[in-house]
Amino acid sequence: MSQQEQNQIAERERTNRLRILSVAFGAGIAVVGVLIILYAWQLPPFTSQIQSTENAYVRGQITFISPQVNGYITAVNVLDYQPVHQGDVLMTIDDRIYKQRVHQAQAQVAMKKAALDNNIQQRRSAQAVIERNQAALENAKAQAVKSGLDLKRVENLTSDGSLSVRERDASRASNSQTVAEVQQAKATLDVSRQDLQTVIVNRASLEADVASAQASLELAQIDLDNTRIIAPRDGQLGQISVRQGAYVTAGTRLTSLVPQQMWVVANMKETQMARIRAGLSVSFTVDALDGESFQGEVEYISPAAGSEFSAISPDNATGNFVKIAQRIPVRIKITSDNAAHLRPGMSVEVNIDTSAEAENREAK
């Protein structure tokens, strides 16, 4: 074999080796790329028991303080961001009109009670009239009995000629009058009983008037009490939006109150929810506190995705469809003792440890 042929064979072998190395290198790059993607998406074999998200924030029970009555602010007793306790007077509204309304309502109550007391006196008087008319009826009955006996005697004397017919007729007229007087006394007694019933029925109306006047007094007193804006609970105030002398109406936002109770809401992707359950331990860091770490636990899981609570719900039954991973809000209870520096609205990074749930599934 000539030298030229040997060189050609060596060149072909070198080319084949280079091709093999190139194919192997390309395959290695492809494998590394696939592994990077699997790791980035936490897919097997790189599945992690820690479910993380940056879409999480500290939440709190922010209460907006507003008045229930209208008027001018006469005093502002607090400053922006000042801590307060339940019952502290934050501001006061001019109460002169409301005091006069209370006095007016008190006068109405007194007047209605006087009318009710007068009704009691009317009832006693009506009962006395009934007793008087009852006695008058008994007297009329007695007179009627006496007149009947007299008439009987006159009839006997007239029949034997001892008395004249004229005297008999006079006796009959007198007897008829006494009988009529009995009927009149009965009617008078019935009228007096009806008068008593009217007084009794009218008492219910007067009692209702007293109750209505007392309710008006209570409402006036509530309005007067509402001229003092008090803190509904312990917490820290936000910015004061009014000053002394400003006119406010019912519902005007005066300030806000932030209690110490706080929690974290983490909006997890639906693909992360398979092993998240209430009671799992959580760790999170806060951007505003140089990444300081806090501990917590899963307290509640939202009953629906966040999109279901939006004002305009998405309609996926129309047009082209692009699948987008939905977010499920998860409420996290803060268990750390160092949560005094947390503020509602702070951004946090949440890590939920699902290893306990995975162990429970394997045990089952």
Q: What domains appear along the chain, each with residue ranges and CATH number?
A: 43-61+261-363 (2.40.30.170), 63-94+227-256 (2.40.50.100), 96-225 (1.10.287.620)
pLDDT value at 364 more than 70: no
- Surface-to-core class of residue 255, CB atoms within 10 Å of its CB (0-12 exposed, 13-18 middle, 19+ buried): buried
**CB under 8 Å to 223, separation ≥6 — which residues?**
68, 69, 98, 101
Instruction: Report the alpha-carbon distance of residue 149 to residue 293 in Å, rounded.
Output: 117
What average pLDDT is seen over the chain?
82
Which tens digits make up the pLDDT trace of 129-172? 777 878 877 777 777 777 776 667 666 666 666 666 666 667 66
How does residue 216 score in pLDDT terms, banded at 50, 70 and 90? very high
239, 79 in Cβ contact below 8 A? no
pLDDT band at residue 40 using 50, 70 and 90 as cut-offs: low
**What is the percent of the chain with per-residue pLDDT over 70, rounded to a whole number?**
83
The pTM is what?
0.64
pLDDT score of 128: 76
74-85 tens-digit pLDDT: 999 999 999 999
Q: Distance between CA atoms of 140 and 179, rounded to whole angstroms? A: 8
Three-state secondary structure call for residue 38: helix
How far CA 340 is from CA of 158, 175, 294, 335, in Å, comes to 120, 105, 11, 12
pLDDT of residue 245: 92
pLDDT at 359: 58
Q: At what angle do helices 96-159 and 165-225 cross, to 10 degrees?
A: 170
What is the predicted pLDDT for the residue at 360? 61
Q: What is the pLDDT of residue 192?
A: 77
Q: Is the peptide bond before 303 cis (omega within 30 degrees of 0)?
A: no
The token duo for 5 is 């042929």
Q: What is the DSSP letter of 260?
A: S
